[in-house]
Structure 1
Amino acid sequence: MTAPRTVVLNGDLGSGKTTVSVALAERLGVRRVSIGDLYRQMAAEHGMTALQFNLHAELDDKIDHYIDQLQYDIAASGEPLVVDSRLAWHFFRGAYKVHLVTDPVVAARRVLGRAGGPVERYTNLEDACTQLAARSESERQRFLTRYGVDKTRLQNYDLICDTTSATPVDIVTRIIEWAAAPTCLLDPRRVLRTTPTESDGEIKVLHQNSHFFAVSGGLRLDAAAQAGETLVPVQLVDEAGKAL
């Protein structure tokens, strides 16, 4: 990334967007804006948990209108930024769009282990998994209804980066280094095998319901996992095996 450019980070709940966005803004020397922080503040002001506020926002469109206008205004300023927001990729049209993914159980462990305050409360790992999935689906349905966009459609992004095992420093470096072309970088241990994929050719992966399934390149995935690699480039394909 040779010149200052707005980078927007979308991602799974518990994928490390806050940590990565803070480090990225420092590395690029630009200001960071977090819509998530604003959203949590609004939830607390309403005396609600994050999930309750999501469900409330489905019924009260004034909440989304307020946040939408805020993002439009920020985007119109032209200031190079790092924006942490699950819908910024839709508003910041000229930005570099990064989507962070992580294993759902790993994400649940992360949010369970941090001090979430009254806005985010989880009793155990199973409860955290359930609440995170419910929050994510609530957001997805709201965005589909109000904007006609699906945040889980990976073609929306310039870079998909897996934070399951990679460090925040590594993720920041990959975001900067891989800004030239659309890319998907996954943890090889996270890619599931349901059919034989012995080929050592290009790694092709199918994405379904937050899971990734190997279509080809199994030997290369195994070698990468054995070598301790945390991120490998893969080609995303549809159910027919056609490149996305």
Structure 2
Amino acid sequence: MLITISGPAGSGKSTAAKALAARLGYDHVSGGDIFRDLAAEKGMTPLELNKHAETDDQIDRDLDRRLRDVAAERDDLVLESRLAGWMAGEHADFRVWLDAPIGVRAQRISEREDKPTELAETETRERAESEAKRYEEYYGIDIHDLSIYDLVLNTSRLDPDGVVEAIAAVVEAYNPEGDEGKTPVTVDYEF
């Protein structure tokens, strides 16, 4: 089975993807790792490459091609990136979108990157706007269209183990032979 985990920065996708892959005995491939490899190949830091990608569409296209290649070649894999659900195409067996309110995501990024929360929120908003524009321009993808996902999960009130438990429960109950055209399962723990 090929499972994709997508979502915006700070949603918990990397943490969840690693833990889910370990739980299922699958391999894990991160779009972030592929991006860092691409940056190293070009002699740049990831931040430098991200800035460069705003004016050079080949950066995103190379990254996305690598994601598509991995998806086409592998089974028993958890593939994680913002566009993994889209890039895996027909190879994906189960697509997950993780999200949380911007304040929660900014706090997580702030702690992870040791920067002020306000700065993390500003950078996260700017990055998301830039990426959304590029995805639409390059591929005609509306990143806000969640209809391709089998599971949409708000991670704001779950710890990492809870996120993995929720995903695993739905993956284990998933019936790929079910009715076509079903809407995705949406799990929102905000009360």
TM-score computed with the length of structure 1 as normaliser: 0.67
Task: Choose from 15, 21, 24 the match for 2:17.
Answer: 21
- Give 1:11-160 correspondences, 5 Å limit: 11-43=7-39, 45-47=43-45, 49=47, 53-92=49-88, 93-95=90-92, 96-114=94-112, 116=113, 122=115, 124-160=116-152
Larger radius of gyration, structure 1 or 2?
Answer: 1
User: Out of 155, 166, 171, which is 1:174 matched to?
Assistant: 166
Secondary structure at the aligned position of 1:59 is classed as coil
Give the SS at the match of 2:122.
helix
TM-superposed deviation, 1:42: 4.2
SS at match of 1:161: strand
In structure 2, C-alpha distance between the alignment counterparts of 1:112 and 1:28, rounded to whole Å: 30
Matching residue's letter, 2:52? H
Preserved CA contact (<8 Å) 2:36 2:45: no
Q: Which amino acid aligns with 1:188?
A: E
Distance, in Å, in 1 between the alignment partners of 2:91 and 2:120 is 35
Report how far residue 72 of structure 1 moved: 2.2
What amino acid maps onto 1:81 in structure 2? L
Question: Any idea what SS the aligned residue of 2:91 has?
Answer: coil
With normalisation by structure 2, the TM-score equals 0.84
Q: Secondary structure at the match of 2:54?
A: helix
Cα displacement (A) at 1:48: 5.7
Aligned residue type for 2:101: D
The change in CA–CA distance for 1:48 and 1:20 in structure 2 (over 3 A counts) is closer
- How many residues are matched? 177
Note the alpha carbon deviations across 1:188-233, whole angstroms, 9 max, x for none.
23xxxxxxxxxxxxxxxxxxxxxxxxxxxxxxxxxxxxxxxxxxxx
Aligned letter for 2:133?
Q
Show structure 2 runs of 5+ residues with no match: 175-181
Deviations, residues 49-104 of structure 1 (Å, cap 9, x unaligned):
2xx54342132122122212212221221422001111111121232110001121
Checking the alignment, whether the CA contact within 8 Å between 1:54 and 1:139 is kept in structure 2 is: no
Q: Considering only aligned residues, what root-mean-square deviation do their CA atoms show, in Å?
A: 2.0
The runs of 4+ residues in structure 1 deviating greater than 3 Å are 40-45, 52-55
* Unmatched tracts of structure 1, length 5 or more: 190-244
Shift of residue 38, structure 1, vs aligned partner: 2.5
Counterparts in 2 of 1:181-192, with a 5 A limit? 182-189=184-191
Greater share of residues in helix: 2
Question: What per-residue deviation string (whole Å, max 9, x for no partner) do you get for residues 20-48 of structure 1?
Answer: 11100001101000011232454574246
Greater relative contact order, per chain length (Cα 8 Å cut-off, separation 6+): 2
